[in-house]
Structure 1
Amino acid sequence: MTDHRPFPLWNAEHAAGLDEPGLLLYRSNLLGSDLRITNYGGGNTSAKVKQQDPLTGQMVDVLWVKGSGGDIGSMKRDGFSTLYLDKLHALQGLYRGLEHEDEMVGYLPHCTFNLNPRAASIDTPLHSQLPYAHVDHMHPDAVIAIAAMANSEEITQKVFEGTVGWMPWMRPGYELGCRLKAYNAANPGLRGIVLGGHGLFSWGETSQSCYENTVSLIERAQAWLAQERAAKKAVVFGGARFDALADEERRSVLARVLPVIRGVASAGKPKLLHVNTSPEVMEFVNSADLEPLAALGTSCPDHFLRTKIRPLVIHEEVWRLDGDALKAKLDQLLAAYRADYAAYYERCKRANSPALRDPNPVVLLLPRIGMVTVAADKATARIAGEFYVNAINVMREANAVDQYVGLPEQEAFDIEYWLLEEAKLQRMPKPKPLVGKVALVTGGAGGIGQAIARRMLAEGACVVLADIDTEALASVSAELAKAHGKDHVRGVRCDVTDEASVIAAFDTTSLEFGGVDILVSNAGIASAAPLEDTSLALWNRNQSILATGYFLVGREAFRVMKRQRTGGNIIVVASKNGMVASNQATAYCAAKAAEIQLSRSFALEGAPLGIRSNVVNPDAVIRGSKIWTGQWSAERAAANKIDEGDLETFYRERSMLKRSVYPEDIAEGVYFFAAEQLSGKCTGNILNVDAGNLPAFTR
């Protein structure tokens, strides 16, 4: 399904007020805003700019080029490396040939202009050696489709009528920069060069002309492919073999299957999942050519670095299974994939290759359902899916016009296990404690719920906020997503008293992340009344939300955790009132006591499965807690015979430590139980966070 949307237009009015680095940034962000032009983190851009040398005061030529590890679509000005162009050219005298080209990376820091800390990427020589003021290196689907055809050189000549050159695949680095320079010198007047199996180099004398040249070449490739496909009356991917499931059935199957997949794939290290059911994906997974094309692997190195060399196909006879039968079959399929990957490693490894990496698949293709991608964090899983969509687009176009060919296996291995890539991985910071974990927080839009969510997010977890207040839920979810990234936060309306609503919330969590690891049962109300004035309606409301609601969310979390078979963590936010009764709060105290006993029951049944359950008991959390915005504040003041404005002082002075308790304090208690390294051997416990309340001491 070809995307015919126009590419973003250059805004001359906006560009008029920008300096050269600003124009480069604008061009880069514009190119990176469209995944048809380049993938997330893929491609690079550069500009050669006259600047004053801070040492000599002389004007010198400085190469501004996307730094290592950046993304042109989202980068800021500090994402560029800056290097003296004359020093980059002088590196030619140090170059000892192809077998030693990796050592050239070590010289790049010596070329740094103005002490810029941004590390230069391996692609720097590709930009420094081309003689143009502005250079783009993109990975457009349409051009990679041509680059990945069996007759790529001939077709490149035909598509661009000699205005674009062609070079065979070569790993990025200093040698490729030298060959690009020589090829360009031998073929004057080119608008760009296609690198076999990889992408497009293009250029211009201004940022605008460079951008327009790049987009024009991509549009030309798109138009030619569409014309050829129509002329050949090509049947895309061999035609349809399967029908897609209806949305409701697909959701039901995924909610059941994803936690099992996640558990099998997470052996030894937690993983998160991302589901993609876009038209491109559905066309591919339901096609007759799915398996032969999937087996060929991807062509562009940026694709398979994110997706592994090939995906795993999981057919309907597998995902229709349930329970132990489903897990056993998935175990078998993943074991076979791991063995195949290990064999690939053994076939291709060099004497100095890094050790075998995680051999599990990243891309799972499920006919009739879609694509599931698996990674250590949600953003990486999502981006891997986007890369495989690019690979699907390439295969579609290449096979319709000519014959798609993947990158040779040894070349793929040498990129995947490149020592420079390994060094980059080794420099990655140590992951936070909750990376790869999914927490669902009921009452997530309230004061305590928000504080808990923030604490979990700060430690790397993905958080699902479940709340009945849709307006507050939308506001808090948006705020947290802005602060911690859209991949890490979801909001779902959930009425904890409604069984169907609770089940739907956990289904959504499984569809978004693959399952759940941490349940924080925090939804709450508070009410007070003398015993004789406590109506059955008030009693039932407390029991419905605080007892039945905690039972329902606990049961559904337990079910998902059991399917995952990776343990889990249930944390009940109860109350001091569950330990010691308060005057004129019978319904509330009884329900809170029920929560504590529920947690103990969860702990008892969960222990054989590695599922822990513990209680955090707050007391008198007045600031930021939503339960004090209703009648509870006035009711507790009346029960204690004080003015409502004196409540915080009253509770503070009543505590042994004479300190107020805040939502952030409760969040710390919850995090203690959520963190395996802190409380991995704790279950069935109660932690009072109440500044000291003698009657509530646990016995």
Structure 2
Amino acid sequence: MPAISTAQCYANAAAFKGRTVVITGAGSGFGRATAIDFAKNGARVVLGDVDAKGMGETVAQIERVHGSNAVVSRHCDVTSWDDQVALFAAGAKAFGSIDIVLPNAGINEIGRFDPREDGDATKLTKPNLKTLDVDLTGVLYTTRIALWYFINDKRSDPGLRAIIFTGSMSTFYGSEGVMYGAAKAGILGIQKGIDKVCRELNVRVGTICPYFSKTAILTSDFVHPVPKLGYAKVEDVVAAFVAAITDTDPKTNFGCYLIPDQWGVYRMNSQGQFVGAEGARRSREEMKALMSKGKL
């Protein structure tokens, strides 16, 4: 039984109505799923991705139900500052404001950090930093631009605003992929670093941390290391995003939402403590031990 139910996650979903949401990596996976769900709940979505075909499919699904006035999209390589600036500008021009930002675009590990596994080990070569560029530098760009829009928002009462990051269980427990693990751990560094400015601006901040989920980031030959856990359900991940953005409890601000298995969402407060009926009895150490043994 999850620590926070789907009904609890969506309890305040009406708050999306009229909000403008920027989502990077919206052409597939969590980006597509959140875009569709947020639009269903009344949000106007601003979508960016390098995958034109995938993003076109996301846009088409939204337009079929909600019309073209609910969505704006642009090609966006998150490693390009100019692409990201243009994405936000397109959203602001179309909808007049930026309210919620999901720096979601990400890729899996590219290359190998171990010199024995990445080319000729007799030659000294630089590591491939592409994963770090997308999964961390791109997130820093998105966050910086979001803060600029929030700081310069001239509305007397801008209402609900949020920056919600896409982390991973690797955010806490590391990864065999050095660059991927470093990037996802770095998300918490960003979250902590923007604490002061976001509290001053009344911006909610959080990180969503799924374990393995059946999205395009998993290759066809992927083998789950702990099969008993199953896969984090995309709908649970989306529900966690909704909760992180709309929860009115200040104690959940700057927290994390973990989806470590097929059984739902666990909420962690800003002090790193699990909260909720089931999560309250779970420490980080216990969570890690249970994951490693496949008993979660």
The TM-score normalised by the length of structure 2 is: 0.75
1:651/1:660 contact within 8 Å kept? no
Q: Is structure 2 residue 120 aligned with structure 1 residue 550?
A: no
Q: How does 1:63-74 map to 2 (within 5 A)?
A: none
Say which of 605, 629, 638 aligns to 2:197. Answer: 605
Q: Is structure 2 residue 197 aligned with structure 1 residue 627?
A: no
Q: How does 1:145-184 map to 2 (within 5 A)?
A: none
Q: How does 1:647-658 map to 2 (within 5 A)?
A: 647-648=223-224, 650-653=225-228, 655=229
Flag as ranges the 4+ runs of structure 1 deviating above 4 A. Answer: none
Partner of 1:586: 178
Q: Deviations over 1:618-672 (max 9, x none)?
A: 1101x2x12124xxx54xxxxxxxxx4xx25x4441x3xxx42122211111010
CA gap 1:548/1:594 in 2 versus in 1, 3 angstroms:
same
Q: Provide the C-alpha distance between the structure 2 equivalents of 1:485 and 1:696, rounded to a whole number of angstroms.
A: 48
Partner of 2:170: 577
1:522/1:573 contact within 8 Å kept? yes
Query: AA paired with 1:438?
Result: T
Shift of 1:530: 5.4
Q: How does 1:271-350 map to 2 (within 5 A)?
A: none
Q: Provide the C-alpha distance between the structure 2 equivalents of 1:696 and 1:611, rounded to a whole number of angstroms.
A: 34
The TM-score normalised by the length of structure 1 is: 0.33
The share of aligned pairs that are identical, in percent, is 23
Q: Provide the C-alpha distance between the structure 2 equivalents of 1:672 and 1:465, rounded to a whole number of angstroms.
A: 20
Structure number with higher helix proportion: 1
CA gap 1:595/1:536 in 2 versus in 1, 3 angstroms:
farther
Shift of 1:537: 4.6
5+ residue gaps in structure 2? Answer: 1-12, 119-124, 267-285, 291-296
Q: Is structure 2 residue 249 aligned with structure 1 residue 660?
A: no
Give the match's secondary structure for 2:195: helix
Q: Provide the C-alpha distance between the structure 2 equivalents of 1:660 and 1:495, rounded to a whole number of angstroms.
A: 28
Q: Provide the C-alpha distance between the structure 2 equivalents of 1:620 and 1:696, rounded to a whole number of angstroms.
A: 17
Partner of 2:256: 686
RMSD of equivalent CA atoms: 2.3
Partner of 1:522: 104
Q: Deviations over 1:417-438 (max 9, x none)?
A: xxxxxxxxxxxxxx93311101
Give the match's secondary structure for 2:98: coil
CA gap 1:696/1:559 in 2 versus in 1, 3 angstroms:
farther
Give the match's secondary structure for 2:15: coil
Query: AA paired with 1:531?
Result: D
Shift of 1:474: 1.5
Partner of 2:240: 669
Say which of 96, 99, 114 aligns to 1:531. Answer: 114
Q: Deviations over 1:179-224 (max 9, x none)?
A: xxxxxxxxxxxxxxxxxxxxxxxxxxxxxxxxxxxxxxxxxxxxxx
Partner of 2:38: 456
Shift of 1:486: 1.7
Higher Rg: 1
Query: AA paired with 2:218?
Result: W
Shift of 1:689: 1.2
5+ residue gaps in structure 1? Answer: 1-430, 635-643
Q: Provide the C-alpha distance between the structure 2 equivalents of 1:536 and 1:587, rounded to a whole number of angstroms.
A: 13
Q: Deviations over 1:456-484 (max 9, x none)?
A: 12221111111111121122211211122
Give the match's secondary structure for 1:433: helix
1:603/1:611 contact within 8 Å kept? no
Say which of 512, 534, 547 aligns to 2:94. Answer: 512
Partner of 2:148: 559
1:497/1:544 contact within 8 Å kept? yes
1:599/1:613 contact within 8 Å kept? yes
Q: Provide the C-alpha distance between the structure 2 equivalents of 1:599 and 1:620, rounded to a whole number of angstroms.
A: 22
Give the match's secondary structure for 1:445: coil
Query: AA paired with 1:436?
Result: G
Larger relative contact order, structure 1 or 2 (CA cutoff 8 Å, min sep 6): 2
Q: Deviations over 1:532-587 (max 9, x none)?
A: 3366352x11221111100000110111111115262000001111211223x111
Q: Provide the C-alpha distance between the structure 1 equivalents of 2:90 and 2:27, rounded to a whole number of angstroms.
A: 17
Give the match's secondary structure for 1:564: coil
Give the match's secondary structure for 2:165: strand
Q: Provide the C-alpha distance between the structure 1 equivalents of 2:235 and 2:289, rounded to a whole number of angstroms.
A: 21
Q: How does 1:97-246 map to 2 (within 5 A)?
A: none
Q: How does 1:10-29 map to 2 (within 5 A)?
A: none
1:547/1:595 contact within 8 Å kept? yes
Q: Provide the C-alpha distance between the structure 1 equivalents of 2:289 and 2:51, rounded to a whole number of angstroms.
A: 31
Query: AA paired with 1:683?
Result: N
CA gap 1:680/1:488 in 2 versus in 1, 3 angstroms:
farther
Query: AA paired with 1:455?
Result: D
Q: Provide the C-alpha distance between the structure 1 equivalents of 2:131 and 2:196, rounded to a whole number of angstroms.
A: 25
2:36/2:58 contact within 8 Å kept? no
